[in-house]
Amino acid sequence: MTSKLDSLERWVQDVAAMTRPAAIHWCDGSDAEYRALAQQMLQSGDLIELNQETHPGCYLHRSNPSDVARVEHLTFVCTKDEADAGPNNHWMSPADAHAKMDALFDGCMEGRTMYVIPYCMGPIDSPLSRCGVEITDSPYVVINMRTMTRMGAAALDRIEREGRFVKGLHSTGELDPERRFIMHFPEELTIKSYGSGYGGNALLGKKCHALRIASFQARTEGWLAEHMLIVGIENPQGQTHYVAAAFPSACGKTNLAMLIPPEGYREDGWKVWTVGDDICWMRPGEDGRLYAINPEAGFFGVAPGTSTNSNPNALTTIARDTIFTNVAVTADNQPWWEGLPGTPVTDWLGRPYDPANGPAAHPNSRFTVSAKQCPTWSAKAEDAQGVPISAIVFGGRRPSLVPLVMEARDWAHGVLMGAAMGSETTAAATGAVGVLRRDSMAMKPFCGYHYGDYFKHWLSFDKAGAKLPKIFHVNWFRKGKDGKFMWPGFGENLRVLEWMIARVEGKARGTETPIGILPANGELKLDGLNLPRETLAELLHIDTAGWQAELHAIGEYLDSFNPRLPARLLQEQQRVAQALDTPLKAANA
């Protein structure tokens, strides 16, 4: 009787024949395996032990200076038909991509160990979860994948039961930027990554599988794979609403996922529960609601900016058993980055710290840690059926124009809000920082197929019997004339979430505007917050002329996805544009 693992074993043998490793190790995900790999990397210098008194079980990894972020220009979606990849992706034909990658992989693991990593994205027993196997020559990848996924024997058992899995082949190669590619074959459920050791390029369960491949799977199978945090908001009556929120990298997803309520809210009994900080898989349940799981088991968070002011829960989470990548180090060997007290002595490159060389920690330096270490971690994160989503939130960094919060009038309007999202770019991707770009649903670097088809897929959930979440858009980053942020953000964002929940429950009437429903006068609770009335008015102000220009720009952006742009979305853009025109026409009549 043949085993369903036969295809896996044949694939492993084929890869070994091509890459020619010195040894093959099947990973079991055990504590002993982790300790052995960590010890091996300490001896090789790939890991540096940090202060074990202040940070027990913590290590530092310094990556190659040319390998510190995702490389979108070297990331390809390889579909048979170029049109299926869409203008939102770089495309290469599957035949050419396989030939290019296999030439790079030829003999690349000589003298190295080839690690076979069976993993499950999501709770092992969840019907929403999907399995994969990553083959890599990087022990750094192995220990990170152990933290970020359900890795090892249980995943291998599920793969044997199901007989299907996503194939991921990775090698650090020579870490040569000229020989670095990340190829996705969604129709084959296959990923090939060469020449990078950076998380988003090398931990293939993360962006590659959980978003690019999974988004393609989700479209085929009737669910959504999204770049979203999942957070539970428990009110004083003990009721919990779960919110999924999409923001581009370094726009506060982790901070919101681990939010600490303001003091007055804590005293009243409000609680926040962390389900996930980066990726959300949603599927309609039998009751018509969307249910979500976090396919990840850990956090791969941006370190700079994480502080006692911004995210004390994150600092508590990463105080032990954490892998830090490209951070600085203090005199007593503690991890350090901009935003923390104290002074570094060594920068992320291992040089004596000199402010003339730039930030001590790389702006995209990271921490990898188990989600269960978070003080606000929710046991619901392990629920096989997922958590019911009450609201979906979109947002980005917009210094002007976009109000603090607005609600979509219906699902189609909400899809337009998500499609039109814009944000200033961050250090999480290579290229210029601070440039405004459209990043629909925060999925521009991660959608594994044509954005026009993706928008159509989103719209398809609005059908008879569906009890869809309300959709909102937020902007924590609006600035005043003095260039400072007008909204305090962080824990105070719960005030905005409370209004959203009141809208979900039908307890807030809101104010209808051409661009969406805004909080009515007095509906945002500001007790204990020193926020001048005129500042709140500015945060909720709608610049009609500015929004008319915005809707025109949104129309041009959407037009770039023709001929696959769904007509329903263009109609919605035109409806909002016309609603903005109406007040001016009435005033000029």
Q: Which residues are catalytic?
A: 251
Say if residue 261 is preceded by a cis peptide, omega within 30 of 0.
no
Q: Is 255 annotated as a binding residue?
A: yes
Q: Is 227 annotated as a binding residue?
A: yes
Q: Is 251 annotated as a binding residue?
A: yes
Q: Is 489 annotated as a binding residue?
A: no
Q: Is 212 annotated as a binding residue?
A: no
How far is the C-alpha of 303 from the C-alpha of 325, rounded, in Å?
9
Q: Is 397 annotated as a binding residue?
A: yes
Q: Is 140 annotated as a binding residue?
A: no
Q: Is 278 annotated as a binding residue?
A: yes
Q: Is 100 annotated as a binding residue?
A: no
Question: From edge to edge, which strands make up the β-sheet containing 328-330?
Answer: 335-336, 328-330, 344-346
Q: Is 89 annotated as a binding residue?
A: no
Length of the chain: 589
Q: Is 199 annotated as a binding residue?
A: yes
Locate all alpha helices (DSSP H) within 82-236, ordered by sequence.
82-85, 94-105, 139-148, 153-162, 199-202, 214-221
Helix (H) or strand (E) holding 456: helix 451-459
Q: Give the type of residue at 435.
A: V
Q: Is 490 annotated as a binding residue?
A: yes
Q: Is 207 annotated as a binding residue?
A: yes
Q: Is 45 annotated as a binding residue?
A: no
CA 415 to chain centre: 18
Q: Is 254 annotated as a binding residue?
A: yes
Residue 39 to residues 45, 60, 121, 297, 315: CA-CA distances in angstroms? 10, 13, 27, 23, 25
DSSP class per residue in 473-510: EE-TT-B-TTSSBSS--GGGGHHHHHHHHHHHTT----
Q: Is 198 annotated as a binding residue?
A: yes
Q: Is 333 annotated as a binding residue?
A: no
Say if residue 341 is preceded by a cis peptide, omega within 30 of 0.
no
Q: Give the type of residue at 208.
A: C
Do residues 287 and 268 make contact, with C-beta atoms less than 8 angstroms apart? no
Q: Is 252 annotated as a binding residue?
A: yes
Q: Is 97 annotated as a binding residue?
A: no
How far is the C-alpha of 569 from the C-alpha of 560, rounded, in Å?
13
Angle at 25 between CA 118 and CA 16, to 5 degrees: 90
First to last CA, the chain: 82
How far is the C-alpha of 238 from the C-alpha of 243, rounded, in Å?
16
Would you put residue 426 in left (φ > 0), alpha (ψ -120 to 50) or beta?
Answer: beta
Backbone phi and psi for residue 588, each to the nearest 5 degrees, phi listed first: -90, -5
Q: Give the type of residue at 52.
A: Q
For residue 233, give both structure tokens.
């908001």
Write the CB contacts of 245 (distance below 8 Å, at least 6 apart in sequence). 228, 229, 231, 253, 256, 392, 393, 394, 395, 474
Q: Count CA atoms closer than 13 A to 478's CA, side-chain side.
A: 20
* Residues that constitute the known binding site: 70, 198-200, 207, 227, 249-255, 278, 364-366, 397, 490-493
Specify binding-site residues for GTP: 250-255, 366, 397, 490-493
> Which residues make up each annotated binding site for substrate?
70, 198-200, 249, 364-366
Annotation: binding site for Mn(2+): 207, 227, 278
